[in-house]
Structure 1
Amino acid sequence: MNAYGCLLSLFALAPIKWTLVETCLSITNSTQDSILQRWFPTFSRLISPLIPSKNNKSQGVRDWEDVIEDSLLGLNLIRETEEGDYQFHQLVRKYFRSKLEQMPEAGKLKQSFCKVMVLEAQSLPQSPTKEQVDGIAPSIPHVAEAATELQQWLEDEDLTWPFIGLGRFYEGQGFYKLAEPWLKQCLEASQNRLGENHPSVATSLNNLAGLYKDQGRYSEAEPLYQQALDLWKQLLGENHPSVATSLNNLAGLYKDQGRYSEAEPLYQQALDLWKQLLGENHPSVATSLNNLAGLYKDQGRYSEAEPLYRQALKIAVQQLGENHPNTQTISRNLSTLLDKG
């Protein structure tokens, strides 16, 4: 029971989906020399055959349920929620967390937990659907645990991901005030651990700027976008995809403010860079053409916008298919333009 409790004490004081625990165990048991075998020989022998395999997942799930019922629920260490998740009592969690801290290699288990939370955060796209938001919602308190209490156990390359996932979760629902502190912490954590001149800092600046832009806080977004662009150029050179993306973002900010003369050269630079880096028929080129066409449309320059929309649509259909969301967006934009004409 000590082993079970120590593992579960890493999770936040919130309902726990057992699939997250299984993933933690799978990662932990696959590490060199098997951490659990060195810590908990009896526990490792118990759980090893119970971790669901690709060929026997349903049986593994049933076995896990038996272990939960006999070893955890049976001793009232955790309770089962109406949704079928599991919840630790606060005092029980505190007790097992103190036991965990006495383990000689507790850090390895914390790293495994953090890796699972990073994977959860990475599963949420930049503009999540309601279904995707609802799907990850039960994991959010545990992702937040990795970002805060267990931040030091995140690997450098994973440091920003819990914060990014939390920001996307709240921003995707329009909860900007809840997203902002996570994106600010992301920037601060990146700067503190990785230094001011690091790609993760540029990404963090860009993400925070995007949040401000979505709220119409343009004066706060602009310097952050500019810092991100300058940093990308400094770190990666003038000819890099991240520079093209950053140019596009700054141009979009100017466009939203009606600063068309400032937006146009940036959109054009981004387009030229995408073509240079990825070729004439890449989906990113289609997106860039669509953006420049939208700028022309907003100025009433319809004769200049139409051929760009048509080029963008041709590339999108060819590379992504007619039913892809990006293709459909470009198609709608072209239809709207033609209706105006």
Structure 2
Amino acid sequence: MKNKFLIIACWSIVSILFGAGCKKGPQFREFTYPAQSASGINYNVGFPGMNVTIKGTNFDTLTGAVKVWFGGIQATTVVSCRDTQIVVQVPATAVSGKVGLQVWTTKTDSIGSFTVIPAPTYKSISATRGNPGDVITFTGLNFLPDVSAIKAMIGSSQAQIVSNSATQVQFKVPNSVSGTPVVKFNDYPLPGPFFFVGNEQKITGTLIGHSGSYGNNANTTIAAAVDGNLNTYVDAATASGYVGYDVGAGKSAKLTVVRYAPRSGQAARMVKGEIRGSNDATLTSYDVLYKITTAPTVGVLTETAINAANTYRYIYYYSPDGYCDIAEIEFIGTVQ
């Protein structure tokens, strides 16, 4: 009998404790999110992989709270979200149909329609060198017919489009430095091979840099930075290191573009890295031409225009504390 009363008493205490724990305390807050309202999407025709922008209100700023469907297929990549705009990537398996949107618990079955067409593909370019004003032909498949949906670039400079068809876009070389030619269809980028403007060239010379490598690995010396292989990399023996070129006695280089790629898995080590120019053989005196402030993308060459006012015999990449972990670097400009 005592055991029975003991069990009842214990359950009573547990019930009181857990019952009290379920009540709303003074710090308990409930959130009611306002219903999202979409006013439309920027493109109604496109292809998998391109970004689409949804305009509206009450979208909040958390991408994890957003779901978008294209023809019933949910997008896997919400690129960004702010209160009045959502940028989402059309999924690889998207089909034509309604575009659905859900933000938090508010779902709209249709905010518009989207027609899926085959993505454009690159085939060839008529030249990889030219002067400002030259007409270049960019060839491929599935190009959009509407010229207003097309933008041609060389590096960061926009080019004038001369003509376009389903398989070609012709544009004039802008008055700019060298760069990668990119034709965008509804902001979907289609790059071609690097394009040299005027007499600019890839700058080379005698390879200079720190000696040795971490663990004396022959595969991770400074030579790996200029071997044309994004899968090899430099790994210095000490935290600081550098790699670049001496263009030669009596010569000087004017740098206009630099292209670089990080070691896989160590992209953050390129942050604070510097592109330098010097006319001092000891490199004690130098100019910082560019400083890397964000981790570059692995597996591709990040391209940056350099506004160098002077010319230099020595141009190089310097890593203050990242073990010079770089997969590849290219210097573009003119040599006198």
Q: TM-score, normalised by structure 2?
A: 0.24
**Greater Rg by CA:** 2
Higher relative contact order at CA 8 Å, sep ≥6: structure 1 or structure 2?
2
